[in-house]
Amino acid sequence: MASIKDVAAEAGVSVATVSRVLNDHPSVSDDARTRVLAAVEALDYRPNAVARSLRTDQTRTLGLVISDVLNPYFTELARSVEEEARALGYSVIIGNADERPELQDHHVRTLLDRRIDGLLLSPTDGGSPGILDAARAGTPMVFVDRWIPGLDVPVVRADGRAAIRDLVAHLYGLGHRRLAIIAGPAATTTGSERVAAFRDALAEYGIPLPDAYIGEGDFQAESGRRATEGFLDLPEPPEVVFAADNLMALGALDAVRARGLRVPEDLALAAFDDIRWFVHTDPPITAIAQPTPELGRAAVRALVDRIEGRVPESVTLPARLVVRRSCGETNPSPSPVRRSKS
């Protein structure tokens, strides 16, 4: 592969001049410029990003460590992150933590070894050594979706409290009184916050949230299945299960189906995170939708601000409730005019 020296030789100039042309430095004669450009063309030369990074101490690369690539929410996030980053002249390297702290740390270290310019993180746990070290070392960093309290790192996320309150109102209106939740790991902010918001919303209706109605999930489908099994085995099973992410909702569906039960007649279901398939499931699933692409874009902008010396800002965007049929027929009262159904 041709190097800058080859180009210099071919064009009959020094490597400095070639470099200047490539980085369009003003003080280069037209003559030299055209000769260099011709040489670049002739040799099919492409600058070696590795060498450039070593010298300039910047890679124009962002690291993104997400909790689970198989989760459509995160892949949508990853996509918008990459898109925005590309628009700003950065590449993105994605690390998949699979909800495992040690894998997360592996990726953080690998990314740091590659001297990425900044790190976008959706932490799997409450603060693994790798992340803490990186934060202390002053690595430009932004949390997205989940975060670690107590660190001076901007957070870009969706606030689901209002949407969860709307959801509980909807469920209450449908006559449900025994409501359960499949939580994420307590070590993640989204894991604990969604439970807290749910409990608070229930409290407004004087409904308690007993421990037996809190399933311990890990944001993976299998845990959703197990938690749902647990609920169904209870002497007094809940009427509704609210899964704190879409994969656990999938697991819940698996469990319900395995028992030959039906949604919403035997058990109603709602989920945090909306995905396209929820429109076509049997029945369509009521969900809380996050403005995922906006989150990704905002996170990249915050991180790049931090990298380029501006002051990054935390961003919180609202989530919203999308009602479908998985919690029971919608109350027709809001629009009493329309009679025709279907």
164, 90, 209: which is closest to 318 by C-alpha? Answer: 164
**DSSP at 128:** -
Q: Which residues of 102-131 are buried (b: 16+ CB within 10 A; e: fewer)?
A: ebbbebbeebbeeebbbbbbbbbbbebebb
**Measured over all CA atoms, what is the biggest interatomic distance in the chain, rounded to whole angstroms?**
87
Nearer to DNA, 56 or 316 (CB): 56
What residue type is 102 in one-letter code?
E
x/- contact string, 304-323, with DNA (CB under 7 A)? --------------------
Closest approach, Cβ 43 to DNA, in A, equals 10
| Candidate segments 45-53, 91-99, 237-245, 302-310, binder of DNA by CB under 7 A | 45-53
Sequence length of the chain is 342
Closest approach, Cβ 30 to its own copies, in A, equals 27
Which residues, other chains included, contact 125 with Cβ-Cβ below 8 Å and sequence gap of 6+? 101, 104, 185, 187, 188
> Residue 326 binds what, of its own copies, DNA, none (CB under 5 to 8 Å, by partner type)?
none
Number of residues that bind DNA (CB under 7 A): 29
Phi and psi angles of residue 53, each rounded to the nearest 5 degrees, phi first? -65, -40
Six-digit token string for 186: 């307590």
Six-digit token string for 64: 């993104």
| Candidate segments 50-58, 103-111, 155-163, 239-247, binder of DNA by CB under 7 A | 50-58
Six-digit token string for 42: 């002739």
Nearer to DNA, 112 or 323 (CB): 112
* 51 forms part of the interface with DNA (CB under 7 A): yes
Phi and psi angles of residue 82, each rounded to the nearest 5 degrees, phi first? -65, -40
* 333 forms part of the interface with DNA (CB under 7 A): no
Nearer to its own copies, 69 or 317 (CB): 69
Q: Which residues of 219-230 are buried (b: 16+ CB within 10 A; e: fewer)?
A: bbbebbbbbbbb
x/- contact string, 56-75, with DNA (CB under 7 A)? xx------------------
Residues 85-144 that bind DNA (CB under 7 A): none
> Residue 14 binds what, of its own copies, DNA, none (CB under 5 to 8 Å, by partner type)?
DNA
Q: Can you tell me which residue has the tokens 């959706």?
A: 122
**H or E element that contains 296:** helix 292-307
Nearer to DNA, 23 or 331 (CB): 23
Closest approach, Cβ 138 to DNA, in A, equals 15
x/- contact string, 23-42, with DNA (CB under 7 A)? x--xxxx-xxx---------
> Residue 29 binds what, of DNA, its own copies, none (CB under 5 to 8 Å, by partner type)?
DNA
Closest approach, Cβ 25 to its own copies, in A, equals 20
Binding site for its own copies (CB under 8 A): 1, 44, 46-51, 53-54, 59, 69-70, 72, 75-76, 78-79, 82, 86, 91, 93-94, 96, 106, 109-110, 112-115, 133, 137, 221, 250, 253-254, 257, 260, 276-277, 279-283, 342
Instruction: From residue 174, give the alpha-carbon distance in Å to each of 160, 244, 252, 325.
Output: 21, 20, 20, 11
Given a contact cutoff of 8 angstroms between Cβ atoms, the answer to whether 217 and 252 are in contact is no
Among positions 38, 42, 54, 132, the unique one binding DNA when judged by CB under 7 A: 54
Paired residues of 93 in beta bridges: 63
Closest approach, Cβ 106 to DNA, in A, equals 19
| Candidate segments 17-25, 74-82, 206-214, 297-305, binder of DNA by CB under 7 A | 17-25
Phi and psi angles of residue 260, each rounded to the nearest 5 degrees, phi first? 70, 20
Interacting residues toward DNA by CB under 7 A:
1, 3-5, 12-17, 19-20, 22-23, 26-29, 31-33, 47-48, 51-52, 54-57
